[in-house]
Amino acid sequence: MNPFLHLTTEQLEKTAYDIRQDVIKMLTAAGSGHSAGALGMADVFTALYFRVLNHDPKNPGWNERDRVVLSNGHICPVLYATLAACGYFEKEELLTLRVLNSRLQGHPHRESLPGIETTSGPLGSGLSQAAGMALDAKLDNEKHDIFCVLSDGEHDEGSTWEAVMFISKYRLANITALIDRNGIQIDGFTEDVMPLEPFKEKYEAFGWHVIEVDGHNITAIIDACNLAHSIYEKPVAIICHTIPGKGVDFMEFNPDWHGKVPGSNEAQEAIRDLRTLKGTIEFE
């Protein structure tokens, strides 16, 4: 089940910009965190939670729910904002991000909030966590799917490629990896730090089916996830080409905003940018 299937594409796109505004407000209130990746993945998270996943915000522990593993936990503001938008908890709590004893920690903690499936922090761990969940589901003949969100930069970690091989060996077709291919990481551009290309061909060489999409085209993301669900013989990787800092002009494509948050004046400018872009969304 998914209680949001009635929403139109226009409503989904506007929801993504609402989520981006919440991310800016959260990070500004916290005074620390990661801006670029959280803004860049808002469309992917909107597509997942408002159209793709089988989930029930009123029953977070529903056994038949699809699971989302956030491997690059530093972009958790977009996950928190999406969960709040879905009704997992009240939106007012978003402003407690990174506050001592808050449920909204700087990296997700599985026991803290409804809708959080795994604890994340060390990059390169999430795909292995997802692999264990997928194998368990397969052995128990359970039908839910596991979606793992991970960054391009964490492919510098050898553990990521170990998980890629493991998932392929055991033909865990119930797992879909959604990779944020935004081209930046904390030390700069990925292709300067540790070149990843040919990225698609590497996954294919390990036995995965690979789909590349515009990570800001919600319809394309939904279609890719639906296609992944229909592929039974191998796991699927969806490479989502995104713009880091999407929607905020002074952040876009700038690696400096990977682990930086806006000050109050910058936040006001960012909110204006996002509200302007939201207002241009219109469909016939």
The one-letter amino acid code at 81 reads A
Query: Which three-class secondary structure state does DSSP give residue 15?
Result: helix
CA 162 remoteness from chain centre: 21
- Residue 21 is encoded by which pair of tokens? 């505004």
> What is the rounded CA–CA span in Å between residue 231 and residue 148?
16
> What is the rounded CA–CA span in Å between residue 88 and residue 176?
23
Has residue 122 got a pLDDT over 90? no
Q: Which pLDDT does position 121 carry in this prediction? A: 80
Residues 199-212: what's their mean pLDDT?
98
Please, which pLDDT band fits residue 231 given cuts at 50, 70 and 90? very high
Q: 244 or 283: whose pLDDT is higher?
A: 244
Has residue 284 got a pLDDT over 60? no
- Per-residue pLDDT tens for 130-188? 999 999 999 999 999 999 999 999 999 999 999 999 999 999 999 999 999 999 999 99
Please, how many CA atoms are within 13 Å of residue 99, restricted to the half-sphere of its CB? 10
Q: Rg for the chain (alpha carbons), in Å?
A: 18
Q: Which pLDDT does position 283 carry in this prediction? A: 55
> What is the rounded CA–CA span in Å between residue 211 and residue 238?
5
For β-strands 184-185 and 188-189, DSSP reports them as antiparallel
Whether domain 9-279 has CATH 3.40.50.970: yes
**Residue showing tokens 């910009």:** 17
**Residue showing tokens 């319809």:** 219
Beta bridge partners of 241: 181, 214
**Taking Cα atoms as reference points, which of 95, 86, 74, 90 lies closest to residue 24?**
95
Q: Which pLDDT does position 215 carry in this prediction? A: 98
**Taking Cα atoms as reference points, which of 13, 27, 150 lies closest to residue 77?**
27
14-46 as b/e: b if 16+ CB within 10 A = bbbbbbbbbbbbbbbbbeebbbbbbbbbbbbbb
> What is the rounded CA–CA span in Å between residue 284 and residue 275?
20
- Residue 97 is encoded by which pair of tokens? 């991000």
Has residue 227 got a pLDDT over 50? yes
> What is the rounded CA–CA span in Å between residue 173 and residue 146?
9
Domain-by-domain residue ranges, the chain?
Answer: 9-279
Residues 86-94: what's their mean pLDDT?
97
> Please, what sign has the CA dihedral across residues 4, 241, 21, 283?
negative
Contact 221, 213 (CB under 8 A): yes
Q: Which pLDDT does position 181 carry in this prediction? A: 98
